[in-house]
Amino acid sequence: MVRVERIRKDLEFLAGITSTPGEGVTRLAFSAEETRAREYLRKEMEAAGLEIYQDNAGNLFGRREGTLKDAPVVMFGSHIDSVVNGGAFDGPAGVISALEALRVINEEGMETVNPLEMVVMTEEEGGRFGSGVWGSRAMAGIVSEDEIYKGTDSLGITKAEAMESFGLDPASVGKARREQGSIKAFLELHIEQGPVLEQNGCDAGIVESIVGIRTFFVTVKGKADHAGTTPMDFRRDALVGASRVISEIDAIARRAGKGTVATVGMVNVRPGAFNIVPEEVQFSIDLRDSSEPVIEAAASEIKKYLEEQCSSRGLAFSWEERLSISPVRIDPGIMSIFQEVAAEKNISTHVMPSGAGHDAMVMARVAPVGMIFVPSRNGKSHCPEEWTDYDQVARGAEMILGAVIRLAD
């Protein structure tokens, strides 16, 4: 049996390892705080009978051998880095439930056919170098030289330098890559970071897909004129055109389907003065859905509306795609294993998409993946108020435990 008091002790201990005491958890990748958190985890992993190793990207593993030599591994875990002034559960909930599942397997002396490995991923948030899901991308073999040697943190330190101070050789990150077929399944428990489970009164979310993301950067160009002397009919006001488009983006997302979300989170207006007609407006679009064709259709509808508005108002525009991540289907076999485990352990579940990206999304490139969500109080995350009851984490850990045993048997 999973023990909630151990989960509580682990999570409380990790919550105390922050560079911003009293202002939430700040634990950036390759930092002194991450080192301290890992020292604690290494001790606990050893006590659970695990064999510990670290890969060339900095991911930390605890392995328990299976009975079949060279069988593919069943891997499960999450990350322990955080955003600045973040919460105590985003990441650690998944790492600690993996640890607790392995403690139980160790205590009960269970044997599995496949080896088991818990993983503590490095720099999932991208809070320090802006290059997130680093650990899983290294395992999937999709990291770039530029992000290692060129990108820096706020103090001008490159990722390569930070890795060296962490005892890693940045030139050998490629060795962290995992072969296709070497991982039988990858499971991740994560906090929901939204209000759905709490509103439905469910213990756990069984993730069915991880949404795809498209982002665009739009510039609308008009003409700067005097706010007092230019009659309305003579204006080419970039902000009026852009704001029509921004309102329509909201309407398009609402019409597109139940899971579609669209956000304009950044707007720049130039010259930005009380008494000058706006000449140029730049804004961002963040568009997400579980279905690629739905994203595609919404994006072209937005672009068409932008073209119409601009041509009728004498405005020019540019449309630039910044990011395109395809949606990820979760392995249906793993979803039904989660369903079976939940039924057996009396855990109420809700099947849902994940609106945020996670390491599991990247791991889907090398292995079948499964994800479990546990409820987030008031849907809050990436802030000090982030909270999940310890017994809710424990029920999620039961789901991981049950699924791991089935998958490795």
CB of 172 to Zn ion, least distance (A): 26
C-alpha atoms less than 13 angstroms from C-alpha of 197 in its C-beta half-sphere: 31
Between 90 and 398, name the residue whose CB sits nearer to Zn ion: 90
Distance between CA atoms of residues 346 and 342, nearest Å:
6
How many residues contact Zn ion, by CB under 5 A? Answer: 2
Q: Which residues lie closer than 8 Å to 362 by C-beta, 6 or more apart?
A: 133, 136, 137, 139, 140, 142
Between 122 and 243, name the residue whose CB sits nearer to Zn ion: 122
CB of 381 to Zn ion, least distance (A): 8
Considering only the stretches 88-96, 234-242, 296-304, 332-340, report the one whose residues sit in contact with Zn ion under the rule CB under 5 A: 88-96
Q: How far apart are the first and last CA of the chain?
A: 18
Residues from 249 through 278 that contact Zn ion (CB under 5 A): none
Distance between CA atoms of residues 302 and 248, nearest Å:
8
Considering only the stretches 85-93, 223-231, 255-263, 286-294, report the one whose residues sit in contact with Zn ion under the rule CB under 5 A: 85-93
Residues 183/14/174/132 CA torsion (nearest 10 deg): 100
Residue 195 DSSP code: S
Between 57 and 408, name the residue whose CB sits nearer to Zn ion: 57
CB of 125 to Zn ion, least distance (A): 7
Considering only the stretches 2-10, 12-20, 44-52, 86-94, report the one whose residues sit in contact with Zn ion under the rule CB under 5 A: 86-94
CB of 222 to Zn ion, least distance (A): 41
Residue number of the CB atom closest to Zn ion: 90
Considering only the stretches 89-97, 242-250, 331-339, 380-388, report the one whose residues sit in contact with Zn ion under the rule CB under 5 A: 89-97
Distance between CA atoms of residues 257 and 111, nearest Å:
46
CB of 33 to Zn ion, least distance (A): 16
User: Residues 96, 36: contact at Cβ < 8 Å?
Assistant: no
CB of 86 to Zn ion, least distance (A): 9
Residues from 90 through 109 that contact Zn ion (CB under 5 A): 90-91
Considering only the stretches 34-42, 82-90, 315-323, 327-335, report the one whose residues sit in contact with Zn ion under the rule CB under 5 A: 82-90
Residues 392/291/297/258 CA torsion (nearest 10 deg): -40
State the DSSP string of 69-85: TTPPEEEEEEE----TT
Contact between 327 and Zn ion (CB under 5 A)?
no
CB of 280 to Zn ion, least distance (A): 36
- The length of the chain in residues reads 409
Where do contacts with Zn ion occur on this chain (CB under 5 A)? 90-91
